[in-house]
């Protein structure tokens, strides 16, 4: 089955901000501190269950929030509820969506001037309840154009706003009726841009597919609107929270299905739905089979091992030091081993970012553990043949890598310090490239006796290449990392700042590569590595536009940059 995924599917900025605020509160939680949300943080049961496992409970009664740290839900709350929470001694963290907060401000500003406020929305929706709290008792909620005629004609100062997740076409019809009745009334289209984009994309998508699946909470306003828009296009529409709610036989009747999702729906849930649909009746059996093979190779860390095996050749090409096949074996075995072992020591985010991969690892736990230990044993045997310096370097690297997810100290003795390397901010982003660079430069060439400055330069270049790889992969894993609290640079700094940082890394890489030969720090092979840097720049620009179902394929493309660089280095070393 062909599946077309809407580009706008998944978390909106307001939801991302709410989750980040909550995760930051969890990470900074003091002993004995209770954290709760006043009402559901967002309208997605799966995310709320994840937060509950981390000790963030949902409270719907103000008295139950007394003395707790309270996260204000993304939908916002009425001002009197906020005052009551303060009076109860609650410490408030405001996760109200900025778009919703702007509607609060508009209503409040006009209410103070005596305006009546008409809200286009659902009376019992959490956002609308919050909006009504700012109307000073002069607010009314409608959701149909004919209701405008029922409003008092004597109102002079009237404001029309909308629930941010309202249907754009319905609001336009109500606006026309409103201006006809209240010519001097003020209209503020407060429907979120993200909502408008999603609805517009659904209309276009419906013209290209036979059916549409809308993924998201059954009580999520914006998700319900997406389903309404699709049904208005007279196309079979299925609104589900997970793939388990889809009827296999019914969906198998279609050959092309569109998928979109509400603003509170995580990528991993969307991906599950996409994979379910694609597996029903593949449009091209051979293409589908090859895609599955590529995904399984990515899951098995084969590409990682091949890339690591070729990195020492890049070091050799840049430094001019004599290389050996043993160097490639050491690097590949070490990287494969620690990556595979750490999967089982730290797999929470994998379950969220890629459930298919998590299931793959769980099913083959014994095989992966055995292969990892065997690879590590091979790495140590080869390092002994290379020299004692390489052996002890590998020992230190192994201890460093395994300590990523294993406590280094007793928590009771180090209460104010991270007890695991993964608990150090940005550890995932920077420690992996450091380990890769050490395995491909220091480990093989520590016994070479070559010029130290060339060794340092090669380490710097390989580190930057691996850092680019890790940063790009972090963009794929951001939602799961946010939920489990993994402190990558992307989670801590946000997507925009991380994008700027990654561009800075690219600039540093290119400048270093161009200056290396002239400064006597490397051979002219450095010039060839500008091409992989350019490919990484292209991936950075287009990666966010990749379909959610293609994440493993995109991951393979990222790994192929290093593999291609290593093969060029191999040719260089043979010819030079």
> Where in the sequence numbering do the catalytic residues fall?
127
Nearest to 336 by CA among 295, 391, 380, 375: 375
Nearest to 257 by CA among 215, 218, 205, 197: 205
What burial class does residue 505 get, using C-beta atoms within 10 Å of its C-beta: 0-12 exposed, 13-18 middle, 19+ buried?
A: buried
Q: Return the exposure string of 119-140: e unless at least 16 CB atoms fall within 10 Å of the residue's CB, then b.
A: bbbbeebbbbbbbbbbbbebbb
**Contact of 385 with 326, CB cutoff 8 Å:** yes
Q: Return the exposure string of 51-90: e unless at least 16 CB atoms fall within 10 Å of the residue's CB, then b.
A: beebebebbeebeebeebbbbbbbbbbbeebbeebeeeeb
Distance CA 8, CA 42 (A): 18
Residues 6+ apart with CB under 8 A from 348: 480, 484, 486
**Contact of 56 with 33, CB cutoff 8 Å:** no
- For residue 13, count other CB atoms closer than 10 A to its CB: 15
**Contact of 125 with 138, CB cutoff 8 Å:** no
CA diameter of the chain: 94
């Amino acid at each position: 089955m062909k599946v077309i995924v809407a580009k706008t599917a998944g978390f909106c900025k307001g939801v991302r901000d709410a989750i980040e605020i909550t995760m930051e509160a969890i990470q900074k939680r003091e002993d004995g501190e209770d954290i709760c949300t006043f009402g559901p943080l967002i309208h997605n049961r799966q995310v709320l269950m994840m937060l509950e496992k981390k000790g963030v409970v949902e409270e719907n009664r103000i008295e139950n929030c007394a003395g707790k740290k309270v996260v204000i839900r993304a939908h916002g709350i009425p001002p009197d509820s906020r005052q009551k929470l303060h009076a109860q001694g609650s410490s408030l963290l405001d996760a109200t969506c900025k778009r919703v907060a702007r509607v609060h401000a508009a209503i409040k500003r006009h209410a103070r001037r005596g305006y009546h406020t008409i809200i286009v929305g659902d009376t019992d929706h959490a956002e609308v309840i919050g909006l009504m709290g700012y109307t000073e008792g002069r607010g009314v909620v409608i959701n149909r154009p004919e209701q405008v005629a029922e409003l008092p004609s004597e109102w002079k100062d009237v404001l029309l706003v909308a629930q941010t997740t309202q249907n754009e076409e319905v609001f336009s019809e109500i606006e026309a009726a409103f201006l006809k009745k209240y010519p001097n009334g003020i209209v503020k289209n407060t429907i979120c841009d993200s909502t408008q984009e999603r609805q517009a994309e659904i209309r276009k998508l419906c013209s290209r597919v036979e059916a549409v699946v809308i993924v998201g909470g059954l009580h999520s306003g914006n998700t319900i609107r997406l389903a309404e828009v699709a049904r208005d296009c007279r196309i079979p529409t299925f609104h589900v929270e997970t793939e388990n709610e889809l009827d296999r036989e019914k969906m198998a009747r279609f050959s092309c299905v569109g998928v979109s999702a509400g603003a509170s729906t995580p990528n991993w849930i969307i991906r599950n739905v996409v994979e379910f649909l694609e597996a029903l009746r593949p449009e091209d059996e051979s293409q589908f089979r090859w895609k599955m093979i590529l995904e399984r190779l990515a899951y098995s860390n084969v590409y990682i091992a091949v890339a690591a095996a070729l990195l020492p050749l890049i070091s050799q090409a840049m430094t001019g030091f004599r290389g050996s096949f043993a160097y490639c074996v050491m690097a590949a075995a070490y990287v494969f081993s620690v990556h595979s072992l750490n999967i089982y020591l730290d797999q929470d985010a994998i379950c969220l970012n890629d459930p298919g991969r998590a299931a793959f690892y769980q099913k083959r736990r014994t095989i992966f553990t055995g292969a990892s230990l065997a690879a590590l044993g091979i790495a140590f045997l080869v390092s002994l043949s290379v020299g004692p310096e390489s052996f002890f370097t590998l020992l230190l690297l192994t201890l460093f890598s395994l300590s990523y997810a294993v406590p280094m100290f007793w928590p009771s003795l180090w209460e104010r310090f991270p007890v695991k390397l993964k608990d150090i901010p940005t550890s995932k982003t920077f420690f992996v490239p450091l380990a890769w660079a050490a395995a491909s430069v220091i480990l093989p060439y520590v016994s070479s006796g070559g010029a130290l400055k060339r060794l340092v330069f090669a380490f710097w270049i390989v580190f930057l290449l691996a850092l680019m790889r890790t940063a790009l992969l972090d963009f794929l894993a951001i939602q799961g990392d946010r939920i489990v609290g993994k402190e990558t640079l992307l989670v801590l700094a946000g997507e925009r700042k991380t994008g700027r940082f990654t561009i800075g890394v690219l600039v540093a890489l290119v400048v270093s590569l161009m200056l290396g030969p002239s400064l006597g720090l490397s051979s002219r092979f450095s010039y060839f590595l500008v091409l992989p840097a350019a490919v990484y720049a292209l991936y950075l620009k287009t990666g966010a536009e990749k379909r959610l179902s293609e994440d493993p394929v995109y991951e393979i493309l990222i790994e192929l940059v290093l593999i291609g660089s290593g093969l060029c280095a191999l040719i260089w070393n043979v010819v030079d």
